[in-house]
Structure 1
Amino acid sequence: MAPIPAAAPFSASFPIRKVADVQRLEQTPLSQALTVRSTYEIFRNSAAAFGDKTALTFLRTGNPADEPIRWSYAELLAGIHRTANLLHRLGVGSHDAVAILLPGCLEYHLALWGAGAAGIAQPLNPLLTDEKLVALMTAGRAKVLIAYGAEGDAGYWSKALRLRDQVPTLTTVLRVAPHDEAAGSVGALPEGVLDFTVACTAEPADRLVSGRDIAPDDICAYFHTGGTTGAPKLARHSHGAQVFTAWANVMMVGLGPQDISINGYPLFHVAGVLPASLASLSAGVEVVMPTTTLLRNREVLSNYWKLVEKYRPTSLSAVPTVLAALANVPLDGADISSIRYCRTGAAVLPPELAQRFEQLFGLHVHESLGMTEMAGISTITPPGVAGPAGCVGLRLPHSQLRIVALDPQGQATHRDLPIGEQGMVLFKSPNLFSGFVDPADNAKAFTDDGWLITGDLGWLDAGQRLHLSGRAKDLIIRSGHNIDPKAIEDALGAHPAVQLCAAVGAPDAYAGELPVVFATLAPGASATEEELLAFTAERVDEAPARPKAVVLIPQMPMTNVGKIFKPELRALAARRVAEALVGEACAALGLLAGTHPLVRAESDKALQVTIDTAAVGAQQAAALQAHLQQTLGRLPLRVQIVLH
């Protein structure tokens, strides 16, 4: 069949400032406003429109003086064609997955969009265990693995070779050479392993040899959710959903070929792939990739404002924890006037951090809400709209948003709430995902009438802007009273010595949970836990929400995309409670400190207490075990007491 002629790239119609502007966009039916059917068409349209214009700029190091590697829009499309054609020759069809185990690199874009043109792209978090990676690839029935040919910071290549022997559907591994590897320096590759660049070079660069006509409902990607604890789930994205995300971002933000962005999000995560990459590349934006380790690169962070001065990005986008780190990097005279739009997401922005960023750099931080289950974006605060911290902006055009009441267990009900009242956020939208690969995972994702249950708590203001307060699973439930941790975090976060803080529920035998808050201090700052506790208590109006303790820790636990990892904090809080009760029991029995049992948190829901029988004696061990079974058994946790 003859190829469909290229269409125009995405281009914003008019500035969006309020919900009436979104409604104005909706006056044109979506079927007329958005005719692009696949992500592949996006790249074909952009190549036709922008040709030799730079699409991707890769920074070899974080040193602003070093020269980058640049690919044009035409070169990017040629690489996507070659990648898709190679995968087609290797037997990848529209229902086959191509697993991707790469750091930040130019080839990641060939893997993502080439795999989506031939079959289904499956980006993988390289820091997951082998066991979880095997489970994800097996669930996705991955046929090909595209992997980085060096160890890097995640042991990429040795991991890839181990995976090759454990995933039954895997037929081929494609090795991506690091950008600084000398040609021919590796030698012969193992059987079943091909050099990605060499193999691609032999393929046609001007078309898809498969002649595939990609439909909007065809699945183009599997993204895994979670995975830090428990079994990650595979969310299916259709081409239509990802195309809508790109189009809606362009309409809401006003992206165009005059823009440049620095994308420091990992490319196994929807934020880095869709709002930060696909949307930009659909509108002619130049996307800068800051080294293979992105914003985890200390040199990149320490030179960030100098890199801004050199590459002149028009936008800055990063998660709140990265913004907090950048707030500690002095400008040192760097010219950052090119930045017109600063955006964050992934976690609620602390008000104190928003204020600091504006005072230090003159940049108002605009928040957005994105989810894997909504192809990366749900609401956007557009440029020119200065919402308070926690305001994540307006719904996307042609999408629907509801706030519903919670039941006593913190689950969504069918009762809609009025303006200003907090509840569970629900969505219906053209970029809604196509469900999980495992149908069993869909039961808790949707209401019985098809609304996506986000798990986010929020409220709408009079201008129909969504304000987030946290996650339903992070609610602290004290004697049936729902405590929003954000109220505690905002109170403590206002202290000048505090860098980051997070409130969680500590298990309690009588109240179920009691609020405690963990904090890290800003570099060079000092404060005591007692001082911080008093400071917080003064600023939390509701007595039940006043924390029982402030605990200073050297480093805040983070996920691989820069979110504070609250399950680890809940586990730490549970261990602290158990250790205190164990200490009381040991004191009652007259046991010396060196003979106290070891308390280990297996998760935020389970503890193990090990009593050393040889150290305390069999009789005392039995007495202590009985005492602890009674005391710890009252906690809302699974507690196992082991005699060793």
Structure 2
Amino acid sequence: MRPAAPPFAASFPVRSLADVRRLEQVPLAEAVTVRSTYELMRNAAAAFGPKPALTFLRDANPDTPPIRWSYAELLAGIHQTANLLHTLGVGPTDAVAVLLPGCLDYHLALWGGEAAGIVQPLNPLLTDEKLVALMRAAGAKVLIAYGSDDESGMWSKALRLRTQVPGLATLLRVAPHDEAPDAAGELPAGVGDFGALRAAQPDDRLVSGRDIAPEDIAAYFHTGGTTGAPKLARHSHRAQVFTAWACVQLQGQGPQDVTINGYPLFHVAGVLPASLAALSAGVETVIPTTALLRNREVIANYWRLVEKYRPTSLSAVPTVLAALANVPLDGADISSIRYCRTGAAVLAPELAARFERLFGLHVHESLGMTEMAGISTITPPGVHGPAGCVGLPLPYSQMRIVALDAQGGASEQDLPPGEHGMVLFKSPNVFSGFLDPADTAKAFTGDGWLATGDLGWIDGEGRLNLTGRSKDLIIRSGHNIDPKVIEDALGAHPAVQLCAAVGAPDAYAGELPVVFATLRPGAQASEAELLAFAAGNVDEAPSRPKSVTVITQMPMTNVGKIYKPELRALAAGQVAQALVDKAVGDLTLAPGHAPRVHSDEQQGVTVYMMPGAQAAQPPDLQQRLEAALAPLPVKTRVVLQTPA
């Protein structure tokens, strides 16, 4: 076993591309010598032993005492977990599936799982069928699951899964925090008590004596969203370690910092840029209850929790930032926050401006993806870019913008700074490919560049700016929803001729799935009937459409493809009309003088107040309408003239 080395620490503040290039003056092999996530944890425990590593909030009340684990306690638990898995027959190429909410034990499953074999975090919102397919593809030998149905019915789901996955030898039950002793009763054969079995293992070493190589696979993360056919992306220890190192360098993290990690730990963002980077540098990470930022009480008390735990950074997806923007400070002291960042979806300029105005926090954007171990570009503290600017490339990485080919894919034509195209990367943290070689081939260009599917451009300071997505994914609260799954579900209805699913703007979720359909000649079907039919044929609740609208003609491009930008504009107009109607309420307006909503793909949503009707309207109607539309993540305006 190699002796402990220093933890990760920022070399100097990074504020420009020149600073990134300065980091590259040291050869990569000398800059990052850690070989595995296990070695990273050993280094952190040696440096920060008694310092708090993880702080779990039992509930959202700032006065409730939390549960804290030190860096030394975390490493001891990782050793015990890895040793338990080893005794259960888990080797370096075996998968350990994890079905847990936000909790301390998740970190034992993650890092102990990677020390023993390959960890496979699972999204509990997936159906049994998809979870079984993922576990079968990975060859999972052990499933570590939460012993309660309070969170997404996890325990019942785990008990069902164990009978459907060949080769799954053991189910380990994680007791909910503060559960009374023996409350679970006698467990079925093949089911073990994770805490009790772990406690019987040595906590000071890996009994396997495993020497983890940098290229060994550490994890399988499923990608492809909450619908469709998820794919298993393979992460090497080298890739995950590099992500942690790069985040520390560009964000300047250190033992003086505290962060609240509300990202789910089945998602790469919560595991790597949020957790592993923090743990590599001595940061204290706060876990805000098992439900994390889905807990409405956590959102409601967020600023009080900031005052209590004094985090130095705030990190959340734009939809959570939008929810927080509706929570007043009420005198809470949030001066500890020095860095605010977001990712998962492009930040709306209106939301960025509102957050800065309300809280004095500039929101720094980053780009991350499963195929790059969670992080691709970062906007460091002190670097202020416009909304859509996702920052600087990582050290030792390469970034290109290429023109799109006729099929909307990546061509070989490089574009100069300022021109828009598809974003490509080569980097030390690029993943090791999918389990299915066919999926891997589609992820890379012929000359080995990762084709992200993101559209963007590079500005004069070398920063990446995103403008959209080459695919028409619907992004709901950071989750990717494949519209084809919805379209396939509704398209099976005998009355439907054509249908297309798009994202409708939503103040909380960012986008919600809606569908537009045309009917076959002579066919009849109500929108309510079609909605029920579609919802009944979509597995995952977050992906079920919120509405179906029947239209007479589907918009098409010149080459015969459905033109979705027009449908998105139509969906935005419908959402805005509902908000306008609610704002007007039971006001008495002159006949024909109700506000009119117009929406298009260039101008966004415009509400026209009829001229000459001011006497019939309350004096604050325009302010009411503007306030009603402000939370929407699209461009909106209220004007006093009719459309041309």
Give the structure-2-normalised TM-score.
0.78
Match of 1:257 in 2: 255
Query: 1:526 aligned to 547, 568, 583, which one?
Result: 583
Equivalences for 1:186-265 in 2 at 5 Å? 186-265=184-263
Cα separation, partners in 2 of 1:498 and 1:252, compared to 1, 3 Å: closer
Match of 1:380 among 378, 391, 413: 378
Q: How many residues are matched?
A: 527
Partner in structure 2 of residue 284 of structure 1: 282
The one-character-per-residue Cα deviations of 1:188-243 (angstroms, maximum 9, x if unpaired) are: 10000000000001100000000000000000100000242211000000000000
Change in 2 beyond 3 A, CA 1:438/1:256: same
CA shift at 1:533, angstroms? 2.1
Aligned match of 1:435: 433
Letter in 1 for 2:381: P
Secondary structure at 1:252 match in 2: helix
Of 72, 83, 86, which residue of structure 1 is paired with 2:84?
Answer: 86
Deviates more, 1:158-167 or 1:177-186: 177-186
The range that moved more, 498-507 or 145-154, is 498-507
User: Which residue pairs with 2:19 in the alignment?
Assistant: 21
Measured in 2, the distance between the counterparts of 1:231 and 1:434 equals 19
Sequence identity (%): 72
Work out which of the residue numbers 361, 364, 374 in structure 2 matches 1:363.
Answer: 361
1:574 is matched with: none
How far the C-alpha of 1:180 sits from its partner, in A, is: 2.2
SS at the partner of 1:508? coil
Q: CA 1:235/1:500 → structure 2, altered by over 3 Å: closer, same or farther? A: closer
Compute the displacement of 1:498 (Å): 10
The answer to whether the 8 A contact 2:318-2:510 is kept is: no
- Report the CA distance shift for 1:532/1:255 in structure 2 as closer, same or farther (over 3 A): farther
User: Compared with structure 1, are the counterparts of its residues 128 and 527 closer, same or farther at alpha carbon in structure 2 (3 Å cutoff)?
Assistant: farther
The residue identity in structure 1 corresponding to 2:555 is D
Contact residue 504 and residue 515 of structure 1 kept, 8 A: no
Verify the 8 A CA contact 2:392 2:464 in the aligned structure 1: yes
Which residue does 1:468 correspond to in 2? 466
Structure 1 residues 90 and 9, CA, compared in 2 at 3 Å: closer, same or farther?
A: same
Query: Post-superposition shift, 1:367?
Result: 0.2
Q: Which residue number corresponds to residue 116 of structure 1?
A: 114
Point out the more displaced range, 236-245 or 527-536: 527-536
Residue number in structure 1 paired with 2:568:
516
Cα distance in 2 between the residues matched to 1:334 and 1:87: 45
Aligned equivalents of 1:179 and 1:459: distance in 2? Answer: 47
Counterpart of 1:410 in structure 2 is 408
Instruction: State the one-letter code of the partner of 1:24.
Output: R
How far apart, CA to CA, are the structure 1 residues paired with 2:172 and 2:323?
Answer: 36
Matches of 1:12 and 1:424 in 2, distance apart?
Answer: 31
Shift of 1:535: 9.1
1:354 counterpart SS class: helix
- Aligned CA RMSD, in angstroms, stands at 2.7
- Aligned partner of 1:585 in structure 2 is none
Match of 2:69 among 65, 68, 71: 71
When residues 461 and 314 of structure 1 are mapped into structure 2, their CA distance, relative to the original with a 3 A threshold, is: same
The 8 Å contact of residues 104 and 293 in structure 1, kept in 2 or not, is answered as: yes
User: Please, what TM-score do these two structures have when normalized by structure 1?
Assistant: 0.78
Per-residue deviation, 1:470: 1.4
Deviates more, 1:222-231 or 1:286-295: 222-231
Paired residue type of 2:453: G
CA distance 1:505–1:460, shift in 2 (3 Å): farther
Structure 1: distance between partners of 2:557 and 2:373: 42
Q: Report the Cα offset of residue 185 of structure 1.
A: 1.5
CA deviations over 1:508-549 (Å, ceiling 9, x no partner): 2565313433355799973799744269865699xxxxxxxx
Structure 2 distance, partners of 1:475, 1:68, is: 38
3-state SS, counterpart of residue 444 of structure 1 = helix
Q: Does residue 144 of structure 1 match 2:142?
A: yes
Q: In the superposition, relative to structure 1, how do residues 195 and 458 fare at CA in structure 2: closer, same or farther (>3 Å)?
A: same
Hey, what's the Cα distance between the residues in 2 that align with 1:231 and 1:276? 26
The amino acid that maps onto 1:261 is T
2:78 counterpart letter in structure 1? I
Shift of the alpha carbon at 1:443? 2.0
Matched-pair contact (CA < 8 Å) for 2:598–2:605: no
| Map of 1:298 onto structure 2 | 296
1:385, 1:503 → 2: CA distance? 34
Distance 2:511 2:223 in 1: 24
Does the 8 Å contact 1:503/1:515 carry over to 2? Answer: no
Q: Are 1:57 and 2:109 an aligned pair?
A: no
Check conservation: 2:322, 2:508, Cα contact below 8 A. Answer: no
Counterparts of 1:552-631 in structure 2, within 5 Å, are: none
The corresponding residue for 2:487 is none
